[in-house]
Structure 1
Amino acid sequence: MKKIAIGLVSTFLATSLVACSNSASEKQPDYTVKNVNVAITDNFHLIGQTFAKDSSGKKVDVKNKALYYEFKMKQNGDRNKFKKDKDVLEATIIPDPDLKKASKDIVGVDIFKKDHDEYGYGMGMVGFDATKSGKVSIDYEVGATVKNNYIPLAPSDKELKKLAKVARHGTLVLTRDKKEIARYSLEDLKPIEK
């Protein structure tokens, strides 16, 4: 009798473990975030160039600066699922209250809102062709380094360091075809349950 009871308990535990591992694999997000680098940069290879007119009406490169995030990521699951992602995937940052406050205090606006007339936002995606690994980058403009009539001058490097210091206080959100597919904590890069 004892052997039957132990056998039944063992079978139940094994079945439970299989069920748990199946449900855990079902919840795995489409992407795993492996690493993130955050910087304030004026490197146009990373953030592009912004042109505006100077006081005489001449078009000039304003040599913009931006808060730049670069995520190393890995796709999970069937590769067919990701074929169109370079065209339809979007990544944004939702700042925690202290990051939003730092943005407002240092830059003068919440740079994470996308409806600014003066401050731009950019996103890029490279890799994911021959392998499941690649990079997703996001940049939020913090100002220009050349005086112009359209984009305010960037705060000092000292002030921008304060912004960079809290830049990982927020959430990375991935959307595909305008539909949210995952959220990740910027601090530990782990997925956040909805």
Structure 2
Amino acid sequence: MKRFMVLICFISLLTLLTACSSKPSLELVNTNVDIVNDKDKVGAIGITEGDKKGKELVPTALYYEFAIKNTGNKKIGDIGEKGIQIKIEPNDNLVASSKEIIGFNIFNPSEYEASGLGYGHTSAYILEPDQEEKYTLHYDLGVSEDNPQVPFLVPSKEQLKKLKDNALDATLIVLLDDKEIARFDLKNK
């Protein structure tokens, strides 16, 4: 009877260890957040009407940069929709700051409609074993000159500082094929 119980415990332990190792092994190596006004990082908004038609406005944006490493021994991701994606899940304090400073929750894509502003990301869809890649997310906050296409002017330096100070009050979620595979509390980074 004792041998049978030991065998059952051993099989259960082995099954548990196998189940745990099937989840992708990701590590958040580095986190950086900044307020930027850089066309190479956030792009530009083309003016399509008025006296300045054809010119570009470079938005000021909340810019996140993450280094994520595959610490496992299997490739994670694939090309296109089955690739690795990331998103920010803001905590209540960060949402409140965003609404107070910008007027809406910048982390909710549907709230950007008709604002003239946008958001974007860069990412590597595939992480090979022991590979580290850089991922970025940016959220436009406004432009520096009046324009009817983009009615949001850049907030004051004090407001931008407040938003940046609260920017890590969030969770980074890593998705694969629209399913969550990892989450990292940014407040502790």
Q: Same fold (TM over 0.5)?
A: yes
- Where does residue 63 of structure 1 map in the other structure? 58
Post-superposition CA distance 1:28-53 (Å, at most 9, x none)? 54421111000010112222222233
> TM-score, normalised on structure 1?
0.77
> Any conservation in 2 of the 1:62–1:148 contact (CA below 8 Å)?
no
How many residues of Structure 1 are paired with residues of Structure 2 in the alignment?
A: 179
Task: Output the CA distance in 2 between the equivalents of 1:135 and 1:144.
Answer: 26
Shift of 1:169: 0.3
Shift of 1:174: 1.6
1:100 aligns with 2:95: yes
- Where does residue 122 of structure 1 map in the other structure? 120
Shift of 1:137: 0.6
Amino acid at match of 1:111: I
> Any conservation in 1 of the 2:87–2:174 contact (CA below 8 Å)?
yes
- Percent of aligned pairs with the same residue? 28
Shift of 1:25: 5.0
Task: Output the CA distance in 2 between the equivalents of 1:50 and 1:130.
Answer: 38
Amino acid at match of 1:142: L
Task: Output the CA distance in 2 between the equivalents of 1:132 and 1:176.
Answer: 16
Post-superposition CA distance 1:82-108 (Å, at most 9, x none)? 343797322111111110000011111
Task: Output the CA distance in 1 between the equivalents of 2:16 and 2:43.
Answer: 44
- Where does residue 131 of structure 2 map in the other structure? 132
> Any conservation in 2 of the 1:62–1:147 contact (CA below 8 Å)?
no
- Partner of 2:187, secondary structure, is coil
Amino acid at match of 1:122: G
Shift of the 161–24 alpha-carbon distance from structure 1 to 2, 3 Å rule, reads farther
Task: Output the CA distance in 1 between the equivalents of 2:22 and 2:128.
Answer: 24
Amino acid at match of 1:91: I
1:91 aligns with 2:86: yes
Shift of the 32–161 alpha-carbon distance from structure 1 to 2, 3 Å rule, reads same
Post-superposition CA distance 1:123-176 (Å, at most 9, x none)? 102595796111111111111123222221111222101100000001111222
Gaps of 5+ in 1: 1-7, 190-194
Shift of 1:79: 4.3
Gaps of 5+ in 2: none
- Partner of 1:53, secondary structure, is coil
> TM-score, normalised on structure 2?
0.79
- Where does residue 107 of structure 2 map in the other structure? 112
For the aligned residue pairs, the C-alpha RMSD in angstroms reads 3.1
Task: Output the CA distance in 2 between the equivalents of 1:50 and 1:72.
Answer: 28
Shift of the 128–90 alpha-carbon distance from structure 1 to 2, 3 Å rule, reads closer
